Structure 1
Amino acid sequence: MTRRKLTEEEIELWRKVARQAERMHPEIPQTVHPTSLPKPKPKKTPKPRFEAFEMGQSHQPKQKPNDLKPSITDTLRRAPVQMDSKAFGRLKRGKLKPEGKLDLHGMRVDTAHPALIRFVLASQAQGKRLVLVVTGKGKDRDEPGPIPTPRGVLRNQVPHWLTIPPLAQAVMQVTPAHISHGGDGAYYVYLRRIR
């Protein structure tokens, strides 16, 4: 649509109104011909095809439980598989038969650790690949207090002992045993070959 030009009457009417009007800011000097800026043309902003997105804008953090340390069983199940994955699958289903067994029931920490070292190193020397270490599930403790006490000292210590020297060089994989071999109260220990 084109803008029409003002007629002589309209221009005269405007001048008359301008003479009678009081200035809003008399301290500012008046120019002879006030310059008016042309009206800006409206810019067409294209609609975005997609809304703006920032990484993680819709992420809502999960509420963490009060459990400060995951259980040993969960930690071992999440550990990466070091042995053959096909053999590991058979191991988890209880299809592989352990070649040796060590029962640590009733032992104290000071006698269980040396017995575990002797058993694992002797089994590796004999060429065994899979052995079973039975720790038991441990006794329930109903100790009140803010600090949780883990159930079963040996059950928590044996996986740690198997990952530190002198057993770290002999052990390839540690995983909780199948229910047919003792479940959470026992561990499969897959040994490395001696070269």
Structure 2
Amino acid sequence: MATVRPLGRPAMPAPPPRKEPPPPRRQSAPAMPLHTPPAAKPHDQRTLDGGWDRRLGRGIVSPDSSIDLHGHTLDRAYARIDFGLETAIARGDRVVLLVTGKPRAEGAREGRGAIRAVVTDWLAASRHAGAIAAVRPAHPRHGGAGALYIVLRR
């Protein structure tokens, strides 16, 4: 023990120098983004709560009105959708059933399913797009694959 020396206290590192907070910066107008993101489509999947989606999926919701596009050309179908939505909005309808016909099957004749193929784009670009909360596939009791529910905003 005569040769043993105490190690002593280890040296504590010096605390880091204290930085002064930077002076407050003047608020300037936010920079404009280089490009604006595209606006969300009115039938975006996140526009309804789960209760609405469950009720639509089960076919519990009864449409307030319907628009049938069977037998119409593309031009006449677009005009009929426009007029039908205008009428439904004026009446205060909440759910409109849009009967488009079933989608085109592989090998089907050329004109079949043309309306169904473009109807979601029409709805997104229509003058009523702001009034549309969501577009969902219809329950089989309301037409299944040949129809859509258009849920209108209050």
CA distance in 2, matches of 1:154, 1:103: 11
Per the alignment, residue 119 of structure 1 pairs with 84
Alpha-carbon RMSD across the aligned residues, in angstroms, is 2.1
Change (3 A) 1:142 1:179: same
Q: One-letter code of the match for 1:94? A: G
- Matching residue within 93, 96, 100 for 1:135: 100
Per the alignment, residue 88 of structure 1 pairs with 53
Kindly name which structure, 1 or 2, has the bigger radius of gyration based on alpha carbons.
Answer: 1
Change (3 A) 1:83 1:109: same
Alignment of 1:11-30 (within 5 A): none
Matched, 1:186 2:147: yes
Per the alignment, residue 105 of structure 1 pairs with 70
With a CA cutoff of 8 Å and minimum separation of 6, indicate the structure with the bigger relative contact order.
Answer: 2
Per the alignment, residue 133 of structure 2 pairs with 172
SS in 2 for 1:163: helix
5+ residue gaps, structure 1: 1-78, 144-148
Q: Which runs of 4+ in 1 moved over 4 A?
A: 138-141
Instruction: Tell me the matched-pair count.
Output: 110
Report the CA distance between 1:142 and its aligned residue: 2.6
- State the TM-score, normalized to the length of structure 1: 0.52
Structure 1 residues 19-54: Cα deviation after superposition (integer angstroms, max 9, x where no partner): xxxxxxxxxxxxxxxxxxxxxxxxxxxxxxxxxxxx
- State the TM-score, normalized to the length of structure 2: 0.65
